[in-house]
A and B are shown apart, each in its own frame.
Chain A
Amino acid sequence: MSTIASSPSGVRPRKQGPLVRFLRRDGAGYMFLLPWFIGFFGLTAGPALASLYLSFTSFDLLTDPRWVGAANYVRIATADPKFAASMRVTFFFVLFSVPLKLAFALLVALALNRGMRGLPWYRAIFYLPSLLGTSVAIAVLWRQLFAGNGLVNTFLANFGIEGPSWISNPNYSLSTLVILSVWQFGSPMIIFLAGLRQIPQDMYEAASLDGASKSRQFWKITLPLLTPVVFFNVVVQTIEAFKAFTPAFIISGGTGGPINSTLFYTLYLYQEAFGFFRMGYASALAWILLVIIALFTAFSFLTARYWVHYDD
Chain B
Amino acid sequence: MSYLIRGKIALFIKVIVVTLFVSILLLLAQSAFAQKEYVIATFLLIAVLLLSLTYLTKISVPLKFFIPGILLLTAFVVGPILYTVAMSGFNYKTGNIISKEEAIVQIKVRGIEPAPSGLTFDIKLGTVDGKPAILASDINTPEYFISTLEERIPLVASSLTLNEYGVAVEAPNFTPLTDSEFSTADKLFTGTRFTFDDQYFIALEGFEAGVVSQQILEFVPEADHFKNLVTGAIYTDNGRGNYALADDKSAILEPGWRAPIWFENYSNIVTDSRVRGPLIRVFIWTVVFALLTVLTTFALGLLLALALNKPIRGRRIYRSILVLPYAMPSVMSILIWGGMFNTEFGAINALLGTEIAWFSDPNFARVAVILVNLWLGFPYFYLISSGSLQAIPSELMEAAAIDGANPRQIFRKITLPLLLQILSPLLIASFAFNFNNFNLIYLLTGGGPRNELDGEIAGATDILISYTYKIAFGTGTQDLGLASAISLIIFLLVASISLYSLRKSKVLETFA
Please determine whether chains A and B interact with each other in the same assembly.
Answer: no
A residues neighboring B (CB under 8 Å): none
Residues of B within 8 A of A (CB): none
